[in-house]
Chain A
Amino acid sequence: MLNAISDIVIERLLQGLADTLTMVGLSAGLALLLGLPLAVFLVLSAPGALLASPRLNRLLGSLVNGFRATPFIILLVALFPFTRWVTGTTIGVWAAVVPLTISATPFFARIAEVGLNEVDKGLIEAAQAMGCGRWHIIWHVLLPEALPSIVAGFTITVVSMIGASAMAGAVGAGGLGDIAIRYGYQRFDTQVMVLVIVLLIALVCSVQFAGDRWVRHLRSR
Chain B
Amino acid sequence: MSAVLRQAQAHAQADPLPAPSLVPATEPAAGPQAPTETRARGSVRFEQVSKRYPGAASGRDALQGIDVHIEPGQIFGIIGRSGAGKSSLLRTINRLESVSSGRVLVDGEDISQFGERQLVALRRRIGMVFQHFNLLSAKTVWQNVALPLKVAGHPATEIRQRVDELLALVGLSDKRDVYPSRLSGGQKQRVGIARALVHRPEILLCDEATSALDPESTQAILALLRDIHRQLGLTIVLITHEMAVIREICHQVLVLEQGQPVEQGPVWQVFGAPRHEATRALLAPLAHGLPVELQQRLHLKPPSAAHALTGAPPRFDRLIELSYTGETDLLPDWQRLATVLQGAPRLLHGGIEQLQGHAHGRLVLAIEGMGPGAQAVLKHQLSHQAKDLGYVERHL
Asked whether any CB of chain A lies closer than 8 Å to the CB of B151, the reply is yes
CB distance from B30 to the nearest CB of A (A): 10
When the two chains form their complex, are residues B128 and A129 in contact, meaning their CB atoms are under 8 A apart? yes
Asked whether any CB of chain B lies closer than 8 Å to the CB of A187, the reply is no
When the two chains form their complex, are residues A120 and B134 in contact, meaning their CB atoms are under 8 A apart? yes
When the two chains form their complex, are residues A125 and B137 in contact, meaning their CB atoms are under 8 A apart? no
Q: How far is the CA of A141 from the CA of B137 in the complex (A)?
A: 9
CB distance from A1 to the nearest CB of B (A): 49
When the two chains form their complex, are residues A144 and B138 in contact, meaning their CB atoms are under 8 A apart? yes
Please choose the segment from B105-113, B118-126, B304-312 that sits at the chain A interface, where 4 or more of its residues have CB less than 8 A away: B118-126
Asked whether any CB of chain A lies closer than 8 Å to the CB of B199, the reply is yes
Assuming the A-B contacts A136-B151, A140-B147, A221-B138, are A130 and B179 also in contact, with contact meaning beta carbons closer than 8 angstroms in the complex? no
Asked whether any CB of chain B lies closer than 8 Å to the CB of A132, the reply is yes
Q: How far is the CA of A106 from the CA of B32 in the complex (A)?
A: 42
CB distance from B131 to the nearest CB of A (A): 9
When the two chains form their complex, are residues A122 and B132 in contact, meaning their CB atoms are under 8 A apart? yes
By beta carbon, the residue of chain B nearest A147 is B138
Residues in chain B near residue A218, CB distance under 8 A:
138
Asked whether any CB of chain B lies closer than 8 Å to the CB of A133, the reply is yes
CB distance from A98 to the nearest CB of B (A): 34
Residues in chain B near residue A145, CB distance under 8 A:
136-138
Q: How far is the CA of A141 from the CA of B147 in the complex (A)?
A: 10
Q: How far is the CA of A142 from the CA of B22 in the complex (A)?
A: 39
Which of B164-182 touch A at CB < 8 Å?
179, 181
Residues in chain A near residue B135, CB distance under 8 A:
126
When the two chains form their complex, are residues B96 and A128 in contact, meaning their CB atoms are under 8 A apart? yes
Asked whether any CB of chain A lies closer than 8 Å to the CB of B356, the reply is no
When the two chains form their complex, are residues B151 and A132 in contact, meaning their CB atoms are under 8 A apart? yes
Asked whether any CB of chain A lies closer than 8 Å to the CB of B235, the reply is no
When the two chains form their complex, are residues A126 and B128 in contact, meaning their CB atoms are under 8 A apart? yes
When the two chains form their complex, are residues B139 and A144 in contact, meaning their CB atoms are under 8 A apart? yes
When the two chains form their complex, are residues B134 and A125 in contact, meaning their CB atoms are under 8 A apart? yes
Interface of A is mostly: helix
Which of B139-167 touch A at CB < 8 Å?
139, 147-148, 150-152
Q: How many A-B residue pairs have CB under 8 A?
A: 67
Q: How far is the CA of A147 from the CA of B205 in the complex (A)?
A: 30
Residues of B in contact with A, size category: 20 to 34
Residues in chain B near residue A122, CB distance under 8 A:
130, 132, 134
Residues in chain A near residue B139, CB distance under 8 A:
144
Asked whether any CB of chain B lies closer than 8 Å to the CB of A131, the reply is yes
Q: How far is the CA of A131 from the CA of B132 in the complex (A)?
A: 19
Asked whether any CB of chain A lies closer than 8 Å to the CB of B50, the reply is no
Assuming the A-B contacts A126-B128, A221-B179, are A133 and B134 also in contact, with contact meaning beta carbons closer than 8 angstroms in the complex? no
Q: How far is the CA of A140 from the CA of B147 in the complex (A)?
A: 8
Asked whether any CB of chain A lies closer than 8 Å to the CB of B190, the reply is no
When the two chains form their complex, are residues B136 and A141 in contact, meaning their CB atoms are under 8 A apart? yes
CB distance from B340 to the nearest CB of A (A): 56
Asked whether any CB of chain A lies closer than 8 Å to the CB of B195, the reply is yes
Asked whether any CB of chain B lies closer than 8 Å to the CB of A194, the reply is no
Residues in chain B near residue A221, CB distance under 8 A:
137-138, 179, 181
Asked whether any CB of chain A lies closer than 8 Å to the CB of B187, the reply is no
Asked whether any CB of chain B lies closer than 8 Å to the CB of A10, the reply is no
Asked whether any CB of chain A lies closer than 8 Å to the CB of B94, the reply is yes
Asked whether any CB of chain B lies closer than 8 Å to the CB of A123, the reply is yes
Q: How far is the CA of A55 from the CA of B152 in the complex (A)?
A: 33
Q: Which of B120, B127, B136 has the most CB of A within 10 A?
A: B136
Q: CB < 8 Å: which of A130, A141, A144 contacts B128?
A: A130
Residues in chain B near residue A120, CB distance under 8 A:
132, 134
Q: How far is the CA of A7 from the CA of B119 in the complex (A)?
A: 70
When the two chains form their complex, are residues B123 and A129 in contact, meaning their CB atoms are under 8 A apart? yes
When the two chains form their complex, are residues B136 and A140 in contact, meaning their CB atoms are under 8 A apart? yes
When the two chains form their complex, are residues B138 and A131 in contact, meaning their CB atoms are under 8 A apart? no
CB distance from A96 to the nearest CB of B (A): 36
Q: CB < 8 Å: which of B137, B151, B181 contacts A131?
A: B151
Assuming the A-B contacts A126-B128, A144-B139, A221-B179, are A131 and B120 also in contact, with contact meaning beta carbons closer than 8 angstroms in the complex? yes
Residues in chain B near residue A133, CB distance under 8 A:
116, 120, 151
Q: How far is the CA of A130 from the CA of B128 in the complex (A)?
A: 7
Q: CB < 8 Å: which of B116, B121, B138, B148 contacts A130?
A: B148
Q: How far is the CA of A127 from the CA of B130 in the complex (A)?
A: 12
Residues in chain A near residue B124, CB distance under 8 A:
130-131
CB distance from B206 to the nearest CB of A (A): 12
7 smallest CB-CB distances across A and B, nearest first, come from A126-B134, A144-B138, A129-B128, A130-B148, A131-B123, A131-B124, A122-B134
The contact sample of 12 A-B pairs, CB cut-off 8 A, is A122-B130, A123-B134, A126-B128, A128-B123, A129-B205, A130-B147, A130-B148, A131-B121, A131-B124, A133-B116, A140-B150, A145-B137
13 additional contacts, CB 8 Å, given A129-B96, A141-B136? A125-B96, A126-B128, A129-B123, A129-B126, A129-B127, A130-B127, A130-B128, A130-B148, A131-B148, A132-B151, A133-B116, A140-B150, A221-B138
Which residues of B pack against A, CB within 8 Å? Answer: 94, 96, 116, 120-121, 123-124, 126-128, 130, 132, 134-139, 147-148, 150-152, 179, 181, 195-196, 198-199, 205
